Structure 1
Amino acid sequence: MTVLLTLVVARSVQAVDDDAAGATEESFRAQGEGPWELLTTTGAGPVSDRLNAALRRARGRFAAVVEAGDRLEPGALAAVRGVLDDLAGRGAEPDVLYTDEQWPADGAAGIFAKPRWVPRYLEGYPYLGRMCFVRPELVERAGGFREDFAPAREWDLALRVTELDVAVAHVPVLGVARTHAPAADPVAAEAGRRAVAARYERLGIPAVVELTGDDDGQAPGFVRVWRQVEDPPLVSVVVPTAGGSRAVRGTETVLVTNALRSLAARTTYPAWEVVLVPSEHTAAEVLAECAEILGDRLRLAPVAGPFNFSRSVNTGVGAARGELVLLLNDDTEVIEPRWLERMVAVASEDGVGVVGAKLLFDDERIQHTGITFDHDGEATHVHIFEEDGPGHFGSTVVDLDFLAITGACLLVPRAVFTEVGGFTESLPLNYNDVDFCLKVGATGRTVVCTPFARLHHFESSSRVARIEDDERAALAWWDHRKHLDPYVNVRGV
């Protein structure tokens, strides 16, 4: 029988691994007869050397590594084979494919339900994890496992293999239950950071690669990449407003002046202007205060008639001079000085069309870290009302691709905005941002949310947007794209 899948069990040299390896082997035998084989690392010496030696002995077209003690879930190998057969039948057999996994209760308990292949996610977190099957010849071509990146050797190898213009597929089944959660200690985190930094050095892309932590308000131990942007382009910040007010931290506050004060006081990005789009109801004294705050950075583009957010946005962008346009609600407040640098850096990447930010309610719970679609096809904010933590395996602390992000803070190249026809004015209040992002996505560009740009959004946490029949009909044009959501695990998790 031709071997399709090889499973390599990584053992240490201690005899204590015997029982653990036995548990793994038992779970492998429970897979039944099939085109697969089991190998175990042998001998002494560095773990990476022994893994590379085992892979050279592999007969399978694909090989994956597990740790002694990991248990394969029933039917896991058959599920991997089924996906391979299906893709091969369509002439699309991958080079790399990965399954979901179960983590133990003494670590970050729960099922790691993974998204589709998102290269950006891999640069912030080793999400391919286990089981990850790779063609052995690609492992060899990439240079194999490297001991100087232990304990992030699997992450380092995944980064190098996926640089080889490979096809990657997700097998949406629970493949393995880990015996240990991946190490979350500073040594492991630093090894991962070095692996990502080495990737950018290989690609020749100037970037600063850092660990998340207290200085950015994010959960520690993940990786952030700051691409270097020379000659920062002008950003036109478009702010529609009616000059309204509400209580903020117990004090009645004019929202737009509060937003502009925070923008002027905390933003370190050098090249920006504000295009304020006041409605006919905006008081003259509010506009005078805005001018006092911003001086010659302010430009006005008044709009008349009933409030239509989409028309206000289009009017503001029409008056913008910047290469990049940032749509910003008047009920927001800047938190971090480098927020705009971060968004511009992500927007500078090839293929990126829209960039969004992490938005928090005034009680510091999450309001926005990206938009996805629920089982009924309705747009919904990911992680809304949750505490500002690491999310689902880093999903709120690393850059991620989505189908859409909120228009409350949305950065887009002005040329892209014009290319897709701007905001759809037949969507005056709700879902115009979702529609816009789907239009940009239809051009082949990606929509990214970065948590390293954080703002408060004083939208009421009890407000629920009501979708009207005409809005529902407009969004129905995009039903064919909703199943392409890169964030959501196809099992609906």
Structure 2
Amino acid sequence: MVAGLETVEAVWNEEDVRNLYRLALRREAEAEAIVQEMTAWPSDRLVRTFFTSPEFLERLEPDFQKGERPWREEETSPSELLRAWAAGRLPLSEGGRLAIVQARSWTRVYWLLFSDPQFSQVVGPELIGGAEVVAWLEKFAKADGRIEQVDGHVIRGWAVRLDDIAQSAIVEAWSGGALCSATTTNLFRRDIQDRFGGDGRFGFELSLPAEMARRNGGEVEVEVLGVPIARVRLQPEEQVLDDIAAAARELGEVRALLERLEARLPAAESGLAQPLSDYGAYAAAWRDSGLDAASSSRRGLVVVDAVGAPPRALDDTVRSLLAQTAPLERLSVALVIDSSQAALAEDLRNRCSWQGLGGVSIHLAEPSAPAQRLMAAVEQVGARGEFCLFVRAGDDLAPGAVRRIAARMDRSAQVQAVYFDEDCFADGQQEMDAVLRRRKDPVLKPGFDRDLLLQTPYVGQRAAFNTEALRRFSLEEAAGDHFAADLMLRIDAEGGVIDHVGRVLLSRWPEDSGSISWRQAVESHFRAEGAVASDHEDELGARVPGAVRVRRRADAAKACIIIATRDAVDLLRPCVESIFAMRPANATPYELLIIDHESQEPETLAYLAQLEAAGDARIMPYQGEFNWALMNNLAAAQTDADVLIFLNNDTVVRTRDWLDELVSQAQRPNVGLVGCRLLYADGTIQHAGFVAREEVYSFLTHEGVGDMGSSPGYLGRHALVHGCVAVTGACIAIRAETFRELGGFDSAAFPIEGNDVDLCMRAQAQGLKVIYDPFATLYHLESKSRGFNTDPVRQARAEAASRLLWRRWGPQFSRDPGFNPHFDRLSRPFSRLRPPPSYAG
């Protein structure tokens, strides 16, 4: 008998009937009247009725006939409460009761039921299809798993031994009846830990021999304990692109071949995410797909900087302009050249005129600062365009590029600059037609973020500007090649809108960073904001070439560090001592306010008394049900500090000047909340800000989880300050005045889960920015080993909070401007590419 569980009764109550619905049919009852009626039935009749019902059997039959995993699309597990109910109320042997409580999958639960001697007296195997069905269930009750990613000859996914959760699973790859590779599960997966429990090391990465893609048709079956979890078919790497290149070299008919391939690729790859490393194939399939925007009456001027460029480069750029889908009569071109290019420029002007592009002007310029020669051309012919697009000779504009930019300018009169995504040509293709060149190294940019741009010129060196704004602000000669990014900072400072087209509109040749560093280019902006700039250095060793560290001064502010705890002195003591250890490196005065939630352990009580007696901390008692939001609201009302820092008791401060950094950022009038970089105890990243996704059940996800602490992240995001949709409450800073104006944490709707995210989004709804700051880095010691939501009560609480967050904020914040729309929303952030959605441009 399982301790605490009741014996089986002859007649069940209404909740028993509801649980039988949940266990056998996996749904709620149709009506309460039916539930009430069934309470009069004997329990044996009820069990037999449900487990032999057509609804139950029809879910088994198709998979049994195919020999496949039952309920193979099912991504949930029976809750602990439901398993406990089944063990206590169903007719089971003593061993069956214990096994049901420990079962973690639907298949294993059903196999344990139908193989139990006492249960089979009520529902015999013959009633569900015979002993063959029970044997089939037994096979798949041993293990479960999924294949989530196949990159070339590497298969990634997860697997779990259902018969022994604590044991690592051996994952085998078979092809043509031969074992070709094997590995064990050893990668931490929190999502699978939430579902099955255990230590969370359920992920695997299985490497296959390179020749596997060509053996047995590339078909591979992945098994765990002899249980097949998936069949995959490997594709020879870049076979299609290699065929295209060979045809280009050997047949001279590449253009026609490419057109045929491009017509087939979108259909084949539709809906399939591809790894970022496979960008060449992705670009071939999707680069120009769906780029056309609504027609615009705006006139555009494209200024081509050709000084010092080879003839082929200028010719390529002009060809891409002639291929624009925007009406050519609304397009003008200014060719900025040196004296050696005069004849070529004249020839290009004639050829453009013959093909309908008549507004081509030639501007002879001596080598000088780019801003100087380009601005001179704008002053001469800028009236021809309502916006000016700056490009360089050799750039290849996508056919819909000008039309997309015009559409963005049409959005609002406040839009004064537009930038866009770009990629590079692979080396050694200069003599190939631009349309045949392989692309690489995409720069898939976030939306405009002044904090990020002050540190790194991520917007690039090609951009479009409203002509009137361009003439008003001009281009800054001192900015060198970074004139576009510099101008955007000045426009933003004056309240102008900078817009971003989340599509690759331009391909270019790789280039160096220019003669003027980004730090030199934006020195004046730092001075204007009272900030100090230095070359970027990251305490964990993350490298972001050319980036700048921006330091701001914490102006005479007092901070209050608020920590809630209940016993757990083994966690609290290292947290507090790390704060004390960093005190000499910080100029910000602070008080430490510890919320004591009914601690009982003598060691904890003695430590709290010691802190209070020494004047190192104030202790605020809190009694009642655990409500993280409420107790922190109450603590915030007990201090006169200017800045509040809410800190988990299982964190340890790593950054010496963490307090000055957080306070200086929180004091900025346009900032609502500041979050930090969190590390697991093994030095890998736990949190580098949240990203939002257009997914109801996975609205938010942590960025950077599991990456090495020294990883800079995509475009340096892990190692640079930037705006994000939300930050975690394990360590957040906020001005006390702002906290009160926002109403504090919502302790009624989000007592435990989701209160940090809700506060972040309320701040953004009021026009305040939420920023992630890696220059305050802490360890979050408990989180990785503990996992989250391992019991059904916590799991249900988290799911309810997630649903409420979606209802409140999903429509407003799910399209995260920091999360470029090219990236797949269901994979790890910034790791895989999806076909660009229609709204991206």
TM over 0.5: yes
State the Cα deviation string for residues 232-274 of structure 1 (Å, max 9, x = none).
Answer: x1111011112327xxxxxxxx111011111110242241111
> Residue in 2 aligned with 1:263?
579
CA distance in 2, matches of 1:459, 1:104: 46
| Deviation by residue 1:433-466 (Cα, 9 ceiling, x = unmatched) | 1112122222222111111111111243362454
Q: Which TM-score applies when normalising by structure 2?
A: 0.52
The aligned residue for residue 734 of structure 2 is: 412
Change (3 A) 1:152 1:472: closer
The one of 152, 155, 158 aligned to 2:482: 152
**Structural RMSD (CA):** 2.7
Q: Does 1:41 align with 2:336?
A: yes
Structure 1 residue aligned with 2:518, among 189, 192, 215? 192
* Kept after mapping to 1: 8 A contact 2:596/2:621: yes
**Structural mapping, 1:26-37, within 5 Å:** 26-32=319-325, 33-34=327-328, 35-37=330-332
Q: Does 1:142 align with 2:463?
A: no
Cα shift at 1:181: 4.8
Amino acid at match of 1:367: Q
| Aligned partner (choices 312, 327, 346) of residue 631 of structure 2 | 312
Q: Distance in 1 between matches of 2:374 and 2:564?
A: 58
Do 1:277 and 1:315's aligned partners in 2 also have CA atoms closer than 8 Å? no
- Is 1:100 paired with 2:421? yes
**Structure 2 counterpart of 1:334, one-letter code:** V
TM-superposed CA distance for 1:492, in Å, is 5.5
CA–CA separation in structure 2 for the residues paired with 1:93 and 1:273: 45
What is the CA distance between 1:356 and its match in structure 2? 0.9
Please state whether the residue corresponding to 1:302 is helix, strand or coil.
strand
Asked whether 1:278 is paired with 2:583, we answer no
Q: CA deviation at 1:410?
A: 0.5
Q: State the AA in 1 paired with 2:552.
A: R
Q: Which residue of 2 aligns with 1:250?
A: none
Distance in 1 (CA, whole Å) between partners of 2:400 and 2:759 is 42
In the alignment, the residues of structure 2 paired with residue 425 and residue 142 of structure 1 have an alpha-carbon distance, to the nearest angstrom, of: 48
Q: What is the distance in 2 between the residues matched to 1:280 and 1:115?
A: 45
Structure number with greater Rg is 2
Q: What is the one-letter code of the residue matched to 1:40?
A: L
Deviates more, 1:67-76 or 1:282-291: 282-291
Structure 2 contact 596–622 (Cα < 8 Å) conserved: yes
Larger proportion of helix: 2
What residue is the counterpart of 2:675 in the other structure? Answer: 356
Aligned to 1:4: 299
Letter of the structure 2 residue corresponding to residue 116 of structure 1: G
Alpha-carbon spacing, 1:443–1:161, altered in 2? closer, same or farther (3 Å): closer
Shift, 1:158, TM fit: 3.0
- Mapped to 1, the partners of 2:610 and 2:425 lie a distance apart of 57
User: How far apart are the structure 2 equivalents of 1:258 and 1:393?
Assistant: 34
Instruction: Trace 1:376-387 onto structure 2 (pairs within 5 A).
Output: 376-377=695-696, 378-387=699-708
| 2:550 equivalent to 1:225 | yes
Q: Tell me, yes or no, if structure 1 residue 372 matches structure 2 residue 691.
A: yes
- Partner AA of 1:434 in structure 2: V
Question: How far apart are the structure 2 equivalents of 1:8 and 1:437?
Answer: 42
Letter in 1 for 2:776: A
Which amino acid in structure 2 is aligned with residue 264 of structure 1? Answer: F
Q: Give unmatched runs, 5+ long, in structure 1.
A: 246-253
Q: 1:170 — aligned with what?
A: 500
Rate the CA distance shift 1:348–1:215 in 2: closer, same or farther, 3 A: same
| Distance in 1, Cα, partners of 2:611 & 2:520 | 43
Determine the C-alpha separation between the residues in 2 that align with 1:216 and 1:374. 28
Residue number in structure 2 paired with 1:422: 744
Corresponding residue of 2:448: 117
Residue in 2 that maps onto 1:395: 717
Distance 1:227 1:282 in 2: 43
Q: CA deviation at 1:467?
A: 5.4
Q: Can you list the C-alpha shifts for 1:402-436, whole angstroms capped at 9, x where unaligned?
A: 22110000101122222222222232322111112
Residue 182 of structure 1 and its aligned partner are, at CA, apart by 5.2
Structure 2 counterpart of 1:340, from 654, 659, 663: 659
- 1:130-183, CA deviations, whole angstroms, 9 ceiling, x for partnerless residues? 54111234333324241x433433333332343333222222221111211552
The corresponding residue for 1:128 is 459
CA distance in 1, matches of 2:705, 2:620: 33
Match of 1:303 in 2: 622
3-state SS of 1:206 partner: coil
Q: Secondary structure at the match of 1:6?
A: strand
1:74 maps to which of 399, 409, 413: 399
Q: Which runs of 5+ in 2 are unaligned?
A: 1-295, 339-365, 428-438, 790-794, 825-841
The 1:151–1:80 alpha-carbon spacing in structure 2 relative to 1, beyond 3 Å, is closer
Identical-residue share of aligned pairs (%): 27
Q: How far apart are residue 488 of structure 1 and its match? A: 2.5
Q: Distance in 2 between matches of 1:109 and 1:362?
A: 36
Residues 219-243 of structure 1 deviation map (CA, whole Å, 9 limit, x = unaligned): 2431222222332x11110111123
Query: Structure 1 residues 264-273 or 212-221, which shifts more?
Result: 212-221
SS of the aligned residue for 1:441 comes to: helix
User: Does the CA contact (< 8 Å) of 1:99 and 1:175 recur in 2?
Assistant: yes
Correspondence for 1:24 among 317, 340, 344: 317
Gap change, CA 1:159 and 1:445, over 3 Å in 2: closer
* Distance (Å, rounded) in 2 between the aligned partners of 1:105 and 1:314: 56
How far apart are the structure 1 equivalents of 2:310 and 2:298?
27
Q: Do the aligned residues in 2 keep the contact of 1:156 with 1:192 (CA within 8 Å)? A: no
Q: CA deviation at 1:319?
A: 2.4
Distance in 2, Cα, partners of 1:181 & 1:386 = 29
Q: Is the 8 A contact 1:236 1:275 kept in 2?
A: yes
The answer to which of 332-341 and 148-157 deviates more is 148-157
The alpha-carbon distance between structure 1 residues 182 and 345, as it changes in their structure 2 partners (threshold 3 A), is: farther
TM-score normalised by length of structure 1: 0.87
Given residue 323 of structure 1, which amino acid in structure 2 is its aligned partner?
A: D
- Separation of aligned partners in 1, 2:688 and 2:531: 24
- Judged with a 3 Å threshold, the aligned counterparts in structure 2 of structure 1 residues 446 and 161 are, in CA distance, closer, same or farther, namely closer
CA change 1:316–1:394 in 2 (3 A) is: same
Larger relative contact order (C-alpha < 8 A, sep ≥ 6)? 1
In 1, distance between residues paired with 2:635 and 2:817? 31
The one-letter code matched in structure 1 to 2:536 is T
- Aligned mates of 1:402, 1:370 — CA distance in 2: 6
Distance 1:38 1:331 in 2: 61
Post-superposition Cα deviations, 1:19-52, rounded to whole Å, max 9, x if no partner, equal: 2222222222221443223322223221422222
Structure 1 residues 168 and 151, CA gap change in structure 2 (3 angstroms): closer
CA distance 1:275–1:217, shift in 2 (3 Å): farther
- Deviation for aligned residue 1:102: 1.7
Q: More deviation in 113-122 or 148-157?
A: 148-157
Q: Give yes or no for contact 1:301–1:315 (8 Å, CA) kept in 2.
A: no
Given residue 265 of structure 1, which amino acid in structure 2 is its aligned partner?
A: A
Given candidates 397, 401, 408, the residue that maps to 1:83 is 408
Which range is displaced more, 351-360 or 308-317? Answer: 308-317
Matched position secondary structure for 1:359: strand
Shift of 1:291: 5.4
Offset at 1:484? 5.8
Equivalent AA in structure 1 for residue 504 of structure 2: L
Q: How many aligned residue pairs are there?
A: 470
SS where residue 717 of structure 2 aligns? coil
After alignment, is 131-140 or 209-218 more displaced?
Answer: 209-218
